[in-house]
Structure 1
Amino acid sequence: MQQLLTFHKRSSGRWDAQWNDQTGDQDLYRKVRQDSGTINLIIYNPTFKLAGSFILTQTQPSNKTLKLYELFGIKVERSPQRAVVGSDVTLSCTISKLSDTVSLQWKHRNSSQQDRRNTDQIRLNNTVYLIVRHVAIEDQELYTCEVQENGSSILTGKAHFSVYPDLYQESYTLYRSGTDRSELDLICRSVASTYNAAAWTWSSHHLPNQEKKIATASKSQPIDVNRTDFGSRLVPTVGHFNGRTFSVRIVPVLFDDAGVYTCSLGSRKFVTIKLITVKVTAEPSDAETEGDTVTPTCSVSDVTEPMRLVWINSDGRTVGEKTLNGRNGEEKSLRLIIQKADRGRGNWICAVFYQNRPQVLVPYYLEPSGK
């Protein structure tokens, strides 16, 4: 609580305003002004950090509250700042205060696309995150954060981000869960030239120094897929290589698919994708268990930079957290102990956070019976 202004009434009926502390937040003093001669305040171009309660209190002849205004703010951010076609983008929408009557959610501007498979959404405390996988050019202005109070929309924030089509010499990291609904699109294309040959190679995280060709093609010819390691899960997304576009898909993604994928067009390396995979296992693993606890474990394939494993419950609250730094011998997993009394809550999610943004969400669902 911070006193801002004290008002004194003149005999003429006008009010004089005196700031209580001019050494405080300079942004506050620049943006908050007295409506001349009155006890009204005007806030110019309010920013997120000015959200809060503004209270007008009478001090003479007796103490009482005359007015209370609650000013809410939302802040929309994106990560990374620069995205290329095929990479993932995490959008965050933070509200200054989340009351019981207020909800926060991401919406797609085209309602028919609301349940697209390429997005995941989760709320953690006062922030709702949206992970958009394999972004395309048309994704740039499609998402809005909506604030609802008692079911009615009261405020929206637009998330604009740029997606660059040129993939030449690009590299980025993708995170995928080892679940049935997980997909990996390996997108490679040239915007400037055509090429007579193309290849996708894979270096497993188990054997980082051994590259395997998993797909090759010659111009105007069908794409040849090596199914030794991926079987029928690896499929071309186009029938023939047209000299520019050479993309394949892995579905579903397995935990051991982690590694480095590289696309070459002609003799040029175009795009390099590092895939980090995440899985959840549980003990006991029986379909039915009557024990006192169940212990799901969230594991990550690689730790190249500091990241966090976070268990989140159905209320959007953190119930377990571990920071991984990639040190030799470090256990790349986080366990959660679920008591028998908590099983009815059902949903838990393991999230991998990098640079304070979730990169992948792996759900774990437990029925009240323990199934």
Structure 2
Amino acid sequence: MLKNYSSLGKTQWQTLLWIFLLCHRLSAEVLRKKTHFIAGKQEVLSLLAPPLGNGMEFIWEWKPHDSNQNVTQIAAIGWSDGHLSMTITNPSFRRKNYFDISMDQYFENAGVYSFKKIKPASLLLAQFEVFAFKVTPYRWPEVPLGSDVSRSCGVSHLPESATLQWEKEGDPTDNTTLRYNNTAHLIIHNAGPNNQGKYSCVVRGKNGEHLFSVYNEVKVAEVTYRASHTVYRQSSNSSEVILTCRCKDGMYKKATWYWTPLSGTTKIRVASAERPDKILIGKDKERFSAAGFNGKEFPLRITPVQFGDSGTYECNLDKVTFGSITVLNVQVSVEPPGSVSRNQPVVLTCEVSKVTGSLTLAWMRMEERRGFFVQQTVLTEGQPDRKLNVTLHSLSKEQLHWECVVFTDSLLRVRLPLHLTPSAPSGNGQLTLIIMPCVAVVLVGMLMLVGMVFYYKRRPVPAPVASPSTGNDKQSQSDVIYSNIMQLCEDERALETPPEEDKYEIHYSSFSLGSTSPGAVRKQNNYRPDSINECLKQQSDTVVYSSLNVT
């Protein structure tokens, strides 16, 4: 046998070694896959176990994406002498083939699935992460022309740094999307032909790469015949609502919009038109307007929308009803109004004009494009209180951007942004900001002055010039410093009268710091007043004597 092995060449040995190492590496690697499904889809998802190595007992484990649940065992498998036995311990799962399992596509079944060998040694063989999408509504019927389209998409788990967003034909719809937790809401107001197309709910990675997505299509009806729907609009100075009325052909001669207020039952004509281009506005001509009627369509525009504009609007072409639209308005307010102080309590109020059925009213704190629920309430029809208040005891930087949102049947109906503006510091605060630097400058100046006085007080006095005949020029004469007035007088007697051009103004100063000691007083009294007066009489009027005492 050894002879036979030795007959193998070097190349054959290298090939066998390479195959052995490759098989060992493949057996040691863990099979890892990621997949996804749409919750509610009537299909079965299967997880296939990898090819088995040596082993006697195996298990399937499941860690739900719900962080509140722990890892649980869902299947136990025994393999002995070619006989297989599998025990399912969770009714949500079923055996498929051999070591494989299958499950219904329920949102709750998302999570991480692990296939392990536990005997004779514990070893992870495969791991699958299953993501579940939940799209509401599950089916997308054709929507009425001019109505609001609302869709929501939730995912069971978002990988780290991943984002969830709605896209139309590959382009983001940021201005119509609200994101919170792992859910993205899409809202399209006054749907028309331009809003039709493919909408995808997409999970993208940190660098924008595509990870998973599900999609559906929005289809909009061409006419408003017999259409009836409800829209929610914000009541503010910049809001508007467009009511659509359209037929298939242009055979009609007259169009009329009627309004029934929430508080009444009588129809009020707000706009009418007759061909050719005869338009009559019967209510608030500054806010209500209508385009020309061409026998086919007659849209009504209201801007700005007021809270009292709520009610049912009906469009008639000749005597045929071509649409009934209920407009419900929502308004937000802040107390105190205007800019608010950071240390002053602030009350945010959101109010809806009417509740039909039930709805959820919520305040959300916004951070960039994401929202965080702060407070919400469920309102029912006939409930007298249709408001939701949030009180902020102090205003921080993270509490400046808010939105009041309305949900019906878990679908977003309207968003009302509210941005708070902190007030500027009060007048006293501004005065303090001005005074404090000035006080600091004054104190620094006083300290510098005291330092200079102290320096010059301790400075030694230069020796007086003996005689002008020793070669001193004008500059040297001007540099003479006298420590006292008597010395000045003696030098004046010794000097001859200088030329007229050599006259200059001389200032003498004496500084005294601290309290005057008795010895100092006696020393000052030794001066001879008569001699001083006589000397002063001989000085020019330009000579100035000053004395500064700082006690």
Question: Which residue does 1:280 correspond to in 2?
Answer: 332
Q: Which has the higher contact order (CA 8 A, sep 6+)?
A: 1
CA contact (8 A) 2:132 2:155 kept: yes
8 Å CA contact 2:77–2:87 kept in 1: the answer is no
Question: In structure 1, what is the equivalent of residue 157 of structure 2?
Answer: 97
Alignment length (residue pairs): 350
- Distance in 2, Cα, partners of 1:219 & 1:196: 6
- Pick from 388, 395, 398: which aligns with 1:344? 398
Query: Does structure 2 conserve the Cα–Cα contact (< 8 Å) formed by 1:54 and 1:69?
Result: yes
Shift of 1:95: 0.3
1:321 maps to what in 2? 376
- Please say if residues 343 and 393 of structure 2, whose CA atoms lie closer than 8 Å, have aligned partners that are also in contact: no
Deviations 1:149-170 (A, max 9, x none): 2132212221323322232222
Matches of residues 147-226 of structure 1 in structure 2 within 5 Å? 147-150=203-206, 151-191=208-248, 194-205=251-262, 207-226=263-282
Q: CA-atom RMSD, angstroms? A: 2.8
8 Å CA contact retained: 1:196, 1:266:
yes
C-alpha contact (below 8 Å) 1:343/1:367 kept by paired residues: no
How far does residue 64 in structure 1 lie from its aligned partner after superposition?
5.6
Q: 1:312 aligns with which of 364, 368, 371?
A: 364
User: What displacement does 1:98 show?
Assistant: 2.7
Amino acid at match of 1:310: A
Q: How far 1:134 sits from its partner (Å)?
A: 1.1
Q: CA offset at residue 145 of structure 1?
A: 1.3
- Partner SS for 2:308: helix
Q: Equivalences for 1:101-112 in 2 at 5 Å?
A: 101-109=161-169, 111=171
**2:74·2:88 contact (CA, 8 Å) conserved in 1?**
yes
Give aligned-pair identity as a percent.
Answer: 27
1:182: Cα distance to partner?
2.8
Deviations 1:246-290 (A, max 9, x none): 112122322222111111110122211110000110111132324
Q: Determine the C-alpha separation between the residues in 2 that align with 1:369 and 1:97.
A: 41
Match of 1:75 in 2: 134
Aligned 8 A contact 1:234 1:250 in 2? yes
Q: Which amino acid aligns with 1:303?
A: V
Instruction: Give the whole-Å Cα distance in 2 for the aligned partners of 1:354 and 1:208.
Output: 25
SS in 2 for 1:336: strand
SS in 2 for 1:256: helix
Counterpart residue identity of residue 391, structure 2? I
Is 2:207 the counterpart of 1:139? no
Amino acid at match of 1:362: L
Q: Give 3-state SS (helix, strand or coil) of 2:119's partner.
A: coil
For residues 300-348 of structure 1, give each alpha carbon's deviation from its aligned partner in whole angstroms, at most 9, with x where no partner exists. Answer: 01112111101122253321111111225x2110001224254424322
TM-score, length-scaled by structure 1? 0.84
Cα distance in 1 for residues equivalent to 2:421 and 2:314 = 41
For residue 362 of structure 1, what is the aligned residue in structure 2?
Answer: 416
Q: 1:108 to 1:232 in 2, by over 3 A?
A: farther
Q: Which residue of 2 aligns with 1:268?
A: 320
For structure 2, the residue ranges without an aligned partner over 5 or more in a row are: 1-70, 426-551
Q: Which amino acid in structure 2 is aligned with residue 21 of structure 1?
A: T
2: CA distance between counterparts of 1:173 and 1:224?
Answer: 26
Which consecutive residues of structure 1, in runs of 5 or more, have no partner in the other structure? none
Cα separation, 1, equivalents of 2:354 and 2:105? 43
Residues 361 and 378, structure 2, Cα contact 8 Å, conserved in 1: yes
Alignment partner of 1:4 is 2:59:
no
| Contact residue 197 and residue 266 of structure 1 kept, 8 A | yes
User: Distance in 2 between the 1:180 and 1:73 partners?
Assistant: 42
Equivalent position to 2:148, from 85, 88, 94: 88
Counterpart residue identity of residue 378, structure 2: T
Residues 204-246 of structure 1 show CA distances to partners (whole Å, capped at 9, x for unaligned) of 33x42232222111122243323x43x433222x3x3111111
- Identify if the C-alpha distance between structure 1 residues 370 and 10 changes in structure 2 by more than 3 Å, giving closer, same or farther: farther
Contact 1:77–1:159 at 8 Å: present in 2 too? no
Whether the 8 Å CA contact 1:343–1:366 is kept in 2: the answer is no
- CA distance 1:110–1:3, shift in 2 (3 Å): closer
The CA deviation string for residues 48-100 of structure 1, in whole angstroms up to 9 with x for no partner, is 45421102233234556554332112232339845210001101111011343
SS in 1 for 2:398: helix
Structure 1 residues 159 and 306, CA gap change in structure 2 (3 angstroms):
same
SS in 2 for 1:340: coil
Question: Structure 1 residues 220, 160: closer, same or farther in 2, change over 3 A?
Answer: same
Q: Which amino acid aligns with 1:56?
A: F
Counterpart of 1:33 (choices 84, 92, 96) is: 96
Hey, which of these two has a bigger chunk of strand by percent?
Answer: 1
Counterpart-to-counterpart distance in 1, 2:176 and 2:80 = 59
> Matches of 1:370 and 1:144 in 2, distance apart?
45
Larger displacement relative to structure 2 (352-361 or 282-291): 282-291
TM-score (norm 2): 0.58
